[in-house]
Homo-oligomer: A and B are copies of this chain.
Amino acid sequence: MPENHLTVAGLSESELLAKIFPRLNNGPAQGTALLLGPGDDAAIVAAPDGRTVVSIDTQVQDQDFRLVWRNGYRTTGFDVGWKAAAQNLSDINAMGARSTSMVVSLTLPPETAVSWVEDFADGLSHAIRDLGAAGCSVAGGDLGRGRELAVTVAILGTLDGREAVLRSGARPGHTVALAGTVGHAAAGLALLESGPGVDLLTPEQRAIMDRQCRPLPPLAAGPAALAAGASAMMDISDGLIRDGSRLAAASGVVLDLDPAVLKHLTGPLSAAADAVGGDPMAWVLGGGEDHGLLATFPADVQLPPGFAAIGSVEALAPMESTGVKIAGRPAETVGWDHFAD
């Protein structure tokens, strides 16, 4: 059997790990926080200020991605590794922290090609490096079998002695700002699910599709927002309106968004809308998975690089509920919920 048709069923766990480890960027050369790497019962990671920021996220085949999409695109191991890293790095970013390490659990159907797993490791490594989290190492992991392909990453980060930016600090009069994109991943999903064949996409459409498979969270923006004095922050993983409503609820306020700015955000999505007939504004308001940052800043703070104002924080009127408005009118709650239909 040629090497590229080798499946994980043909390897022991230690043989498969031996294929993966050399591809993970956990060398000591890059200022790693890794004090003890893979190979023992647990790893040890530096927590220089005596605190560790931690989060966990899972992707499951046919829930979070399809192995083969309706437009013919085949999700690569690289895509899944990249996205697993990106969405976890984003959670640390959203606290204003920087990532120090991740531990990775892979559940693999026995027919999974070994080359897919190697590609996964490459995607993980490249996302860490290319998104600007080079100090983050893969500290360890777990391999097992299942009928469905699934990836869980738990990520650790450090605040370097500073206070995290929570969801609860937005106050009336503060500026609402966005870093990164919104709606691109949703438009990409529409292209994958109902667009023309992947080979027929224009380069512009293909770039949008790629944001669903390999999102680009703005990792410099989180710590920059913290340093600038952001009052509240979260990453947009379930949609601008849904996640904005969560930030508003945690802070006890209303976010009022500027329709002209929202309209401007739809601009890059017109190429995708042309292909699938989707509504760019629905993608901007309801699309998750770009992993942009939604933050609020006191009005006298100059927004840090990467952030643009998209609205303002308002006090609750008597009897009013927290939430998101657009030009003073309640926005529908649209976005992704894992269970509700």
Binding site for B on A (CB under 8 A): 8-9, 11-16, 35-36, 39-58, 60-64, 90-92, 94-95, 97, 101, 103-105, 107, 110, 139-148, 150, 152, 154-157, 159, 164, 166-167, 233-235, 250, 337-341
Contact = CB atoms under 8 A, between A and B. Distances in A.
A11 B339 contact: yes
A64 B107 CA distance: 12
A184 to B, nearest CB: 20
Given A42-B95, A152-B105, A140 B54 contact: yes
Total copies of this chain within the assembly:
2
A122 to B, nearest CB: 20
B157 A42 contact: yes
Contacts of A13: 337-340
A154 B291 CA distance: 22
B234 A40 contact: yes
A101 B11 CA distance: 33
Given A52-B156, A150-B150, A58 B144 contact: yes
B51 A47 contact: yes
Contacts of A340: 11-13
Contacts of A41: 55, 90-92, 94-95, 167, 233-235
25 contacts: A8-B339, A12-B339, A40-B164, A40-B166, A40-B250, A41-B55, A41-B92, A41-B95, A42-B94, A42-B97, A43-B54, A44-B159, A46-B51, A47-B47, A47-B50, A54-B101, A54-B154, A58-B144, A62-B146, A63-B144, A63-B146, A105-B152, A146-B148, A147-B148, A152-B154
A279 B57 CA distance: 41
A156 B97 CA distance: 18
Contacts of A144: 58, 60, 63-64, 338
A239 to B, nearest CB: 13
A55 B54 CA distance: 12
A29 B56 CA distance: 25
Contact of A42 (B63, B92, B148, B338): B92
A15 to B, nearest CB: 8
A338 B143 contact: yes
A61 B338 CA distance: 20
A40 B107 contact: no
Given A58-B105, A107-B60, A45 B40 contact: no
Contacts of A146: 60-63, 148, 150
A36 B164 contact: yes
B56 A140 contact: yes
Smallest CB-CB A-B distances: 9 pairs: A154-B154, A47-B47, A41-B94, A42-B55, A56-B103, A12-B340, A152-B152, A60-B146, A58-B105
A55 B156 CA distance: 11
A319 to B, nearest CB: 23
